[in-house]
Chain A
Amino acid sequence: MSSLWHYAFVQHALLAGIITAVLAGCIGPIVTARNMSFAVHGLAELGFTGAAGAVLLGASPMMGVLTATFAAAAAIGVLGVRLRERDIAIGSVLAFGTGLGVLFLSITQRYATEAFSILFGSILAVTTGDLARSLIIGVVASAVLAVIYRPLRFASVDPEAAEARGVPVRLLSTVFLLLLALAVSEAVQVVGVLLILTLLIVPSAAAQRLTAHPGFAVAYSVGIALVATIGGLACAIYTSLPVSFFVSALSFAAYLLARSVSSVRMKTAGRPMVESQGQDHGSLTGASSSESH
C-alpha cells in the first residue's frame, strides 16, 4: 500500500498540495480579517471561465485559471471598488463569467472531464510543468507576502490608524488581491473552483477560534490546511474516492473541533463576550444598537 507514495504522480500531488496549503494557510487570516470570502469565491469562478477559455484555445486549463483570476483581481484593484459595492460588482461579473465558461466548455469536445477537474480539482493529475509553475507561484507569493505582511495586517484590521501612520492602504489592497489570485489559482488545482473556500477560509476560521494571537493564528491556519491537504490526499489514494471530498471533510472537521474547543474553553475560563470592568458600560456591541444618544 505504502508503495503508492513512490509513484511520481503521487509525489507531484503531495508537493503541489504542500505549496498550496502553506500559501492558502498564510493568506486565509487576511481574507477573513478583510471579509473577502465572496471575493475568493468570485475569483475562483472566474478562474473556471479562464480554464474553459484555455481549453477552447487548446492551452493548459491551469494557465487559463491563473490568467483569469489575475486579470479579475487587477480589474477589481484598479477600479478601486469600494467595500460596499465590491460584493455586488463581483457577483454581477462572476455570474456572467461563469455563463461564458459554460459556453466555452460546450463548444469543446472535452466538456465533461475538463469541467469536472476544474470544478472539483485535479491534484492527482499534476504534471511536472504544473508542479514547476506551482513552485514558482508559491515562492513568489510567499516572498511578497512576507515583506508586506505586517502593514497588510495593520491596514486590514485597523485601516484608519494604518492610513494615518503612512501605510499605503489602497496599494496594499490591490497587491493583496493579486496575491489572492495566485493563491486561488494554486488552490483550484487541489480542490477545484467549487471547493476553494475549504482551503482559503476554513483553516483560518478554525484557527481564530483557537487563539487570539495573530502569529499563532497564521501557524494554526497553515497547520490545518496542511493536515487537510496531505490527509485528504492519503485518504483518496487508499480509497480511490475524490481528494477534494477528503480535503473539505478534514478542514471542516478541524473547524467543528476548533469551535467546540473554544466553547468549552469559554465556559471554563469565564471571559464571556465582555468582561465587566468596573462600571464601564461603553461596550461597542451595545453602542451600535443605541447609537442615537
Chain B
Amino acid sequence: MTDTAAIRLDRASLQLGHGPLWQTLSLVVPPGEFLAVLGPNGTGKTSLLRVLLGLQPLSEGRAEVLGRAPQRGNPAIGYVPQQRAFDPDLPLRGRDLVRFGFDGHRWGFTRDSRAARRQVDEMLALVEAQAFADHPIGRLSGGEQQRLRVAQALIGKPRLLLCDEPLLSLDLNYQQTIVQLLSEWNRRRGVTVIFVTHDVNPLLGVIDRVLLLAGGPWAVGDVDEVLTSETLTRLYRRPVEVLRIKGRVVVLGAELGGHEPLPGHRTGAR
C-alpha cells in the first residue's frame, strides 16, 4: 500500500472555457507528502483539487488518486473547501458542520448516534473548538469556522487531505494553529496533504515540495528550487525577483496566488 503514490498525474491538461489552465502536468506525490500548490488567480488550483475529487474530468492525460482513477465521494479523501459566508440565522451549529463530515452523505436515519457524537466531540477537542461548538455557524469568525472545517475533513480519517486556501482571512495566530494541526496529522498519521495557498510563508517549515501553476507552464520541486528568480522569470516570461528576507519568501514582479490579483495581473501571468 505504501508504494502506491497518493497522487499520480501523467501529462494531465485541463481546459475550461477558452484557455488551458495547465498543460501536460506530470506529478507524483508519494504518500505522506505535504505539497503546497501556488499560482496566480485563475490558474486552476481549485480545479486541480476538483479533478482529484473526481468532480472535474481532465481534458487530456491521466490522473490517479490513491492508486485508482479519481472517484466521486472517495471516503479516503478529506476536503477543506474555500471559505464561504453562512447566514447568521442558519440553524446549524459548529458541531453540526463537523458531523456532516461523518455521516452527512448517508441516506435515511442515523444508525449509531452515540458513536457519531463521540467522534464529533473528539474532533472538536482536537481543533480546540469546544468553546463555540454549540454556537450558530454563521455567527462564528473566519478562524473559528476554519477550524471546524478542518475537523469536518479529518473526522473521516482520510489518507489524503485536500485544502483550498484554508488560511484565507485568518490572522497570523490562527494561520499557525491550522498549519501546525495539519502538519501534525501529516507527520504522525502519514496523511498526504495538498494545500492550495496564496502565501507560502506560513507553510515554510512544514512543506516538502511546492507546485507552482503559472497559467499553462508549471514547476514542481523544493521551495529553494522552485521559488527562485530564474524559475519564476522563466515561467512568467517577465522579470521576477525572489528575495529571502529573514527566512520569508518575498516575490517582486509577480503574484504567487490569491483571489484578487493586482490590477493588470489577470492576463500578465501567461
Could you say which interface size class chain A belongs to? 35 or more
Q: Enumerate chain B residues within 8 angstroms of A160, measured Cβ to Cβ.
A: 79, 81-82, 84
* CB of A112 within 8 Å of the partner chain: no
| Chain A residues in 8 Å Cβ range of B191 | none
Listed residue (B87, B104, B145) with the most chain A CB atoms within 10 angstroms of its CB: B104
* Cβ contact within 8 Å between B108 and A287: no
Q: For window 265-293 of chain A, which residues contact chain B by CB distance below 8 Å?
A: 271, 273-275, 277-285, 287-288, 291-293
A209, CB-defined interface residue at 8 Å: yes
**Residues of A participating in the B interface, judged by any CB pair closer than 8 Å:** 29, 33, 146-148, 150-151, 153-154, 157-158, 160-167, 207-209, 211-214, 216-217, 271, 273-275, 277-285, 287-288, 291-293
Structural contact, A161 and B81, CB atoms closer than 8 A:
yes
Asked if A280 and B85 sit within 8 Å, CB to CB, the answer is: no
| Minimum CB distance partner of B149 in chain A | A161
| Inter-subunit contact A163/B55 (CB<8 Å) | yes
Q: Which 9 A-B pairs have the closest CB atoms?
A: A166-B73, A282-B142, A217-B91, A154-B104, A160-B81, A212-B136, A280-B143, A164-B79, A287-B169
Residues of A within 8 A of B82 (CB): 160
Complex Cα distance, B259 from A198, in Å, reads 41
A212 with B144, Cβ < 8 A, contacts A150-B104, A282-B171 known: no
Whether B142 lies near A154 (C-beta < 8 A) is no
Residue of A nearest to B110 (CB): A150
Nearest Cβ on chain B to A206's Cβ, whole angstroms: 11
- Contacts A151-B104, A161-B100, A212-B91 given; does A287 touch B142 at CB 8 Å: yes
Residues of A within 8 Å of B108, CB to CB, are 146-147, 150
User: Which secondary structure dominates where chain B touches chain A?
Assistant: loop
B interface residue count range (under 10 / 10 to 19 / 20 to 34 / 35 or more):
35 or more
10 example contacts (A-B, Cβ-Cβ < 8 A) are as follows: A157-B92, A158-B104, A164-B81, A165-B73, A166-B105, A212-B91, A280-B173, A281-B141, A282-B146, A284-B169
Complex interface residues of chain B between 50 and 82 (CB less than 8 A to chain A): 53, 55, 72-74, 77, 79, 81-82
Contact of A277 among B85, B87, B141, B149 (CB under 8 A): B141
Query: Inside 8 A of A285's CB, which chain B residues have their CB?
Result: 85, 88
16 A-B pairs besides A154-B100, A292-B260 with CB distance below 8 A are A151-B105, A157-B92, A158-B104, A160-B81, A161-B81, A166-B105, A208-B89, A214-B92, A271-B139, A274-B141, A280-B141, A280-B142, A280-B170, A282-B143, A282-B169, A287-B168
A164→B260 contact, CB < 8 A: no
Of chain B, the residue at the smallest CB distance from A163 is B55
Give the residue of B100, B107, B174 whose beta carbon is less than 8 angstroms from that of A282: B174
Whether A214 and B91, one on each chain, are in contact in the complex, defined by CB atoms closer than 8 angstroms, is yes
Within the assembled complex, what's the spacing in Å between the Cα atoms of A212 and B90? 7
CB of B36 within 8 Å of the partner chain: no
Residues of B with C-beta under 8 A to A292: 260
List B137-168 residues whose CB lies under 8 Å from chain A.
137, 139-146, 149, 152, 162, 168
A209 adjacent to B89 (CB under 8 Å): yes
Given A146-B108, A151-B106, check contact A167 B91 (CB 8 Å).
no
CB contacts (< 8 Å) of A165 on chain B: these are 73, 79, 100-101, 104-105
List of A residues within 8 angstroms of B120 by Cβ: none
Contact of A162 with B132 at beta-carbon distance under 8 Å, contacts A280-B142, A282-B169, A284-B141 already known: no
Complex contacts, A288 vs chain B, CB 8 Å? 85
Residue of B nearest to A262 (CB): B89
**Nearest CB on A from B47, distance (A):** 13
- B164-220: which have CB < 8 Å to A? 168-171, 173-174
CB-CB < 8 A to B103: which residues of A? 150
Question: Which chain B residues lie closer than 8 Å to A29 at the CB level?
Answer: 91
Complex Cα distance, B169 from A150, in Å, reads 30
Of A157, A277, A287, which is within 8 A of B90 by CB? A157
